[in-house]
Amino acid sequence: MSTNAVITLDALPPTTHTKPISSQKWSSHFAFVMAAVGSAVGLGNIWKFPYMTGTSGGGAFVLVYLACVAMIGLPILIAEVTIGRAGGASPMGALRNLAAKYRASRHWQIVGLVGALTALLVLSFYSVVAGWALAYVPVAATGKLAGISGAASETIFNTILADPVGQIGWHTAFMATTVLIVSRGIGGGIERAVTWLMPMLAVLLVLLVAYAAAQGAFLDGAAFLFAPDFSALGTEAVLSAAGHAFFTLSVGLGAMIAYGGYLPEGVSIPRTAITIAALDTLCALAAGLAIFPLVFAHGLDPAGGPGLVFVTLPVAFGGMPGGDLFGALFFILLGIAAVTSAVALLEPIVATMVERGFRRSSCATMLGLLCWAIGLASVFSFNVWSDVRIAGDERTIFDWLNLLTSDILLPLGGIAIALFVGWAMPLRALGGEIDLGPRWLRAWRALVRYIAPAAVAMVLVSALMGAAA
């Protein structure tokens, strides 16, 4: 038994290194909920959910997505937070601690390692898309959106994409902010940002829905979102819905394990998880209700892809009184919502390295630089490398990073996390962390033990076989 993998894992430092991390706690239950909501609500809700709904045919996708959030995402969110609080460390450390405690294989910590690599890849393109939001702040503030048509809005977006230097500037600003926050340690900064700014974003979203209801083709938009046409739904779309359920709740790569590590005893994990999932879902649906009525009213293409929100909402801001101000504010808040998610992507990796004795600020800076460099590939996907195809199909490098993480790595990570709590942790230990009655606890365990892993694995395999055929 002396394979390389075993030697490497044996050489890891002892678990006592985890103490300094878990001794740092959220200042209150509310603070944890806000930080977790901050991590969940981000570009996934406002940028990705609407465009995926658009490319996947609408209502049927939304329905499958909602089912996946409730039946797969939520149980796995509970699982991640539980691992974090019970293991009291970074994702790798928590899995290692718990595996040792319950005599399971130490190889479970590989799940934490793969999660960290996934987080790096997600953060690399997440930062680029957040950069697009920031690029719109000066555009809106200087009145350039006033009265624009759908076509003019498309031109503005395409101009942003065509300019690698500008995009790199915004991508750099965004990544630097994320690094700065993580360097200082989570807590104060994130808590405050999320407590004040996320509700403001929610208010603006409601305002946009009201505008779409008054000025857009509201019934067409709502019908597109909520009237399911299952004939339009293929296996790949089902996989995307499942993958997006992971992405939007920030599960499958260990972020919620890291956040759970800072969660005080006595806070109800299931109740907290339900709150997070509910607020996250409301935000996504509100974004959809704000966007699709405008898409149909302005002759835009619902299947327009990643640019959908950036093309659609400026038309709304351009048409409303005070739109310069609201538009600028909206994109600032979207950037902030993205930062609170980006922090959750970087934190688990940094926490892992801090446990190994590295300085927090050095790790944050080095890892931020690495993500920044990988992010350049996404920037170039829209201009200098727009012709580059890795796999002979339509997809650019950006598309591949998006697909690989959301549709493959997050579902795989989710399956592994579900299996870990379902099989490696005894029911009594779980009952000690999760304050559900015995029946609900068993039902939850059946979900993470059998149903969620089997369902995700089936969808994953059939979609991959379909894609290969």
Whether the Cβ atoms of residue 191 and residue 407 lie closer than 8 Å to each other: no
CA atoms 246, 257, 110, 364: torsion sign: positive
Please report whether residue 378 would count as binding ligand PFF according to CB under 6 A: no
Give the residue with the Cβ less far from ligand PFF, 381 or 406: 406
Considering only residues 95, 160, 179, 255, which one is a binding residue for ligand PFF as defined by CB under 6 A?
255
Give the residue with the Cβ less far from ligand PFF, 124 or 341: 341
Integer CA distances (angstroms), 187 to 191, 333, 453, in order = 6, 19, 33
Termini Cα distance of the chain: 39
Considering only residues 21, 34, 43, 276, which one is a binding residue for ligand PFF as defined by CB under 6 A?
43
Please report whether residue 44 would count as binding ligand PFF according to CB under 6 A: yes
Residue with tokens 């750099």: 172
Give the residue with the Cβ less far from ligand PFF, 260 or 318: 260
- To the nearest 10 degrees (0 to 180), the angle between helices 269-297 and 74-87 is 140
For 392, other C-beta atoms within 10 Å of its C-beta total 6
Considering only residues 22, 45, 124, 378, which one is a binding residue for ligand PFF as defined by CB under 6 A?
45
Integer CA distances (angstroms), 68 to 44, 214, 249, 278, 279, in order = 15, 32, 11, 13, 16
For residue 330, give both structure tokens: 């909206």
Per CB under 6 A, contacts with ligand PFF among 211-250 are: 247-248, 250
Nearest to 142 by CA among 314, 336, 334: 314
Give the residue with the Cβ less far from ligand PFF, 62 or 253: 253
Instruction: Tell me the residue nearest to ligand PFF as measured from the CB.
Output: 44
Give the residue with the Cβ less far from ligand PFF, 76 or 156: 76
Can you give the length of the chain in residues? 469
Per CB under 6 A, contacts with ligand PFF among 328-347 are: 341, 344-345
Give the residue with the Cβ less far from ligand PFF, 36 or 320: 36
Minimum Å gap between C-beta 99 and ligand PFF is 22
Per CB under 6 A, contacts with ligand PFF among 117-136 are: 119, 122
Stretch that binds ligand PFF, among 43-51, 266-274, 315-323, 327-335 (CB under 6 A): 43-51
Q: Report how many residues bind ligand PFF under the rule CB under 6 A.
A: 16
Minimum Å gap between C-beta 83 and ligand PFF is 14
Dist CA 109 CA 95 (whole Å): 5
Whether the Cβ atoms of residue 161 and residue 382 lie closer than 8 Å to each other: yes
Give the residue with the Cβ less far from ligand PFF, 160 or 251: 251
Nearest to 412 by CA among 239, 234, 237: 239
Minimum Å gap between C-beta 363 and ligand PFF is 17
Stretch that binds ligand PFF, among 41-49, 67-75, 377-385, 431-439 (CB under 6 A): 41-49
CA atoms 101, 104, 107, 113: torsion sign: negative
Please report whether residue 40 would count as binding ligand PFF according to CB under 6 A: yes
Dist CA 224 CA 387 (whole Å): 32
Please report whether residue 174 would count as binding ligand PFF according to CB under 6 A: no
Which residues would be at the binding site for ligand PFF (CB under 6 A)? Answer: 39-40, 42-45, 119, 122, 247-248, 250, 253, 255, 341, 344-345
